[in-house]
C-alpha cells in the first residue's frame, strides 16, 4: 500500500463499515443503526481510512465530552494489519484532540485483546481499572484505559516520536 486517505465517515460509508465491523467483531458488533445514530451525535467524530483503491481498511470513532475524548471504536481490516494503520487512526484522533484543546483520552478494551492493549500502551494509555462483565457477548471484563494530560511534555514527545516513525505508508486527510 503506497497511499491511504482518511475522511470523515458519512452515511455512504456505513454498509462497508458494518461489513468490517461484522468481520472484526463476529460475536458482538454494532448494528448499522448504531453507526447511523453516531453520525447524528453532536459529540461524535468518526473517520474512515481507505487504501489507494478506495477500499475501506479501517475506521475510528470517539466522543468529545468537555476536555476528554472517549474512543468508542477502532477497527482495521485483517488484510491491513501490521502496517501501522491503527497508529495512523490514533494519530488522526490525537491531532483532533490538540486542535480542540482536549486534555485526556479514554477507552475500554477487552482484557484478552493484547494487541490493542499493546497499541494503546505505546501511546501511553494506562489501565486505571476494570469494568466487570462489560462485554455482552461473553461477559468478558474491560480494562479502562486513560492517558495522562496529552499536553504534558512526556505525552507530546512520545506522540511526536510515533508520528515521525510512521514510514511504511503515506497518508493524507481529506474532508
Domain range summary for the chain, segments of one domain joined by +: 3-173
Residue 134 binned pLDDT confidence (cut-offs 50, 70, 90): confident
Instruction: Check 16, 108, 111, 140 and give the catalytic one.
Output: 108
80 is catalytic: no
Q: What is the pLDDT of residues 66-108, one digit of tens each?
A: 999 999 999 999 999 888 999 999 999 999 999 999 999 999 9
Q: Which residues contact 106 (CB under 8 A, 6 or more apart)?
A: 68, 69, 70, 71, 144, 145, 146, 147
38 is catalytic: no
pLDDT at 154: 97
Beta bridge partners of 76: 58
Averaged pLDDT score across all residues of the chain: 92
What's the fold here for domain 3-173?
Aminopeptidase (3.40.630)
Rounded to two decimals, the pTM is 0.92
When pLDDT is averaged across residues 26-50 and rounded to a whole number, the result is 93
- What secondary structure letter does DSSP report for 152? S
Instruction: Check 47, 59, 104, 120 and give the catalytic one.
Output: 120
Amino acid at each position: 500500500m503506497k497511499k491511504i486517505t482518511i475522511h470523515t465517515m458519512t452515511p455512504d460509508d456505513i454498509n462497508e463499515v458494518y461489513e468490517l465491523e461484522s468481520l472484526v467483531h463476529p460475536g458482538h458488533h454494532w448494528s448499522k443503526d448504531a453507526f447511523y445514530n453516531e453520525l447524528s451525535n453532536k459529540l461524535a467524530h468518526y473517520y474512515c481510512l481507505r487504501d489507494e483503491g478506495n477500499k475501506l481498511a479501517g475506521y475510528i470513532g470517539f466522543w468529545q465530552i468537555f476536555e476528554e475524548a472517549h474512543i468508542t471504536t477502532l477497527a482495521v481490516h485483517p488484510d491491513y494489519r501490521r502496517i501501522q494503520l491503527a497508529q495512523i487512526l490514533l494519530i488522526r484522533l490525537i491531532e483532533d484532540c490538540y486542535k480542540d484543546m482536549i486534555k485526556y483520552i479514554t477507552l475500554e478494551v477487552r482484557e484478552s485483546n493484547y494487541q490493542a492493549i499493546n497499541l494503546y500502551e505505546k501511546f501511553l494509555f494506562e489501565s486505571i481499572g476494570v469494568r466487570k462483565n462489560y462485554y455482552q457477548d461473553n461477559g468478558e471484563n474491560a480494562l479502562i484505559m486513560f492517558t495522562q494530560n496529552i499536553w504534558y511534555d512526556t505525552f507530546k514527545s512520545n506522540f511526536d516520536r510515533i508520528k515521525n516513525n510512521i514510514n511504511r505508508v503515506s497518508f493524507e486527510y481529506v474532508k
